[in-house]
Amino acid sequence: MGMEIDYLQAGAGGAYWERMLMKNSVQRTMPGHTPEEAGMAEEVREKLSGVTITMSPESAEYMKRLEARKEEERAQQARFQRENSPLVMQDPFSRIGTQFSTISKALSEMGYYDDLSDEEVLETDKLLANITYGMNSICGNFRVETETRAPELSSYAAKFELESSTAALRQFADKYLPENMRETFQNLVDKYYEHNSMALEGYRSTREIMDELQANTYDKVASSRVIPMSEEEKMTHLAGKVKPEDEDVNSAYKEWRTYFKMFAQADHPEDDVMAKLSESLNRLASGNSENKRFVQFIANRNAFAIENARLYWSALT
């Protein structure tokens, strides 16, 4: 199963997006970026050559007040940017925008992108957009809507995405960031985990809610049914009955974190680690079921979370 997040959608607001907007803005405002405009600009310069302009006292005073007002506006803008910097906000992921754009903006303010080419900035932002896409689809306050939007994550897949994306962001820091930026970025990742953990409290997907409702309905009418349940209804009935114990959830967390460390250490084949992660997620989501058909049914539902993790972890190992 191949997949890739559409950067043009998920990457809006990132460093690359901002850099391209700035370049286009400069090109539009600079005279002479076409042969015709260059000729017109040269003609104006020739006409003004040797011309001396004297400003009246009133005009000079007006220009002085205008410059003072502009300076105050620049100071206010700088103050606003400082107060709303993702590096100083208590919860920067509550700001308007995708979670990816928050992280990309923080890296930009840290100066990480300064010496990178356009292509390098684009590749970095694509990676970060992939890492945060799953959590942003649930917990972001600005979500990406596309014709090929990924399926809604189950509560189990969402837990997995949070653990995976958090570990991936820490791996990104260790692999790509210079030493003097890592602590600041790791603090940002702590806030990412805290924000999304709170957002996932009590979360269930629409499908999970419907599974439970349908399972309860099946139970109520079981004795009066004339036509037996279809295979799909059987799977839905089983899914609606899954209620993992806290011990099972905590055990899954422990397993996932162990496997993510294997990625970071790069001492185990990637496919083997992904297979272990998939098995652990599906075991949790199926309630430790031994029904192979049902486990496969659950695996199909969790396929996006696994493949998305495979996509960004392959770029980090």
pLDDT exceeds cutoff 90 at 159: yes
pLDDT class of 200 with cuts at 50, 70, 90: very high
pLDDT per residue over 5-53, tens digit each? 554 555 567 889 888 888 876 555 555 556 666 667 677 666 666 666 6
- Report the pLDDT averaged over residues 64-76: 71
d(CA 60, CA 57): 5
108 or 4, which is more confident?
108
Q: What is the pLDDT of residue 1?
A: 35
Q: Please, what is the angle between helix 155-176 and helix 270-285, to 10°?
A: 150
3-7, 70-74, 85-89: least confidently modelled range: 3-7
pLDDT exceeds cutoff 70 at 81: no
Q: What is the pLDDT of residue 30?
A: 55
78 or 208, which is more confident?
208
Residues 6 or more apart in contact with residue 125 via CB below 8 angstroms: 7, 11, 14, 15, 16, 17, 100, 104
Q: What is the pLDDT of residue 253?
A: 96
pLDDT exceeds cutoff 50 at 282: yes
DSSP one-letter string for 21-42: HHHHHHHHHSTTSSHHHHHHHH
pLDDT class of 79 with cuts at 50, 70, 90: low
Instruction: Identify the DSSP state of 228.
Output: P
pLDDT per residue over 233-276, tens digit each? 999 999 999 999 999 999 999 999 999 999 988 888 999 999 99
pLDDT exceeds cutoff 90 at 119: yes
- Mean predicted lDDT score pLDDT of the chain: 84
pLDDT exceeds cutoff 70 at 201: yes
The domains of the chain are located at: 96-317
Residue 135 in contact with residue 165, Cβ under 8 Å? Answer: yes
Q: State which H helix or E strand residue 206 sits in.
A: helix 206-221
For residue 198, give Cα distances in angstroms to 81, 134, 192, 266. Answer: 26, 16, 10, 31
Give the count of beta carbons closer than 10 Å to the beta carbon of residue 89: 16
pLDDT class of 165 with cuts at 50, 70, 90: very high
pLDDT class of 102 with cuts at 50, 70, 90: very high
147-151, 201-205, 218-222, 246-250: least confidently modelled range: 147-151
Q: Which two tokens stand for residue 272?
A: 């083997």
Q: What is the pLDDT of residue 83?
A: 47
Q: What is the pLDDT of residue 92?
A: 87
13-27, 42-56, 120-134, 281-295: least confidently modelled range: 42-56
26 or 127, which is more confident?
127
Tokens 């959590």 identify what position? Answer: 135
297 or 3, which is more confident?
297
Q: What is the pLDDT of residue 70?
A: 72
Q: What percent of the chain has pLDDT over 90?
A: 55
pLDDT exceeds cutoff 50 at 226: yes
Q: What percent of the chain has pLDDT over 70?
A: 78
91-100, 293-302, 308-317: least confidently modelled range: 91-100
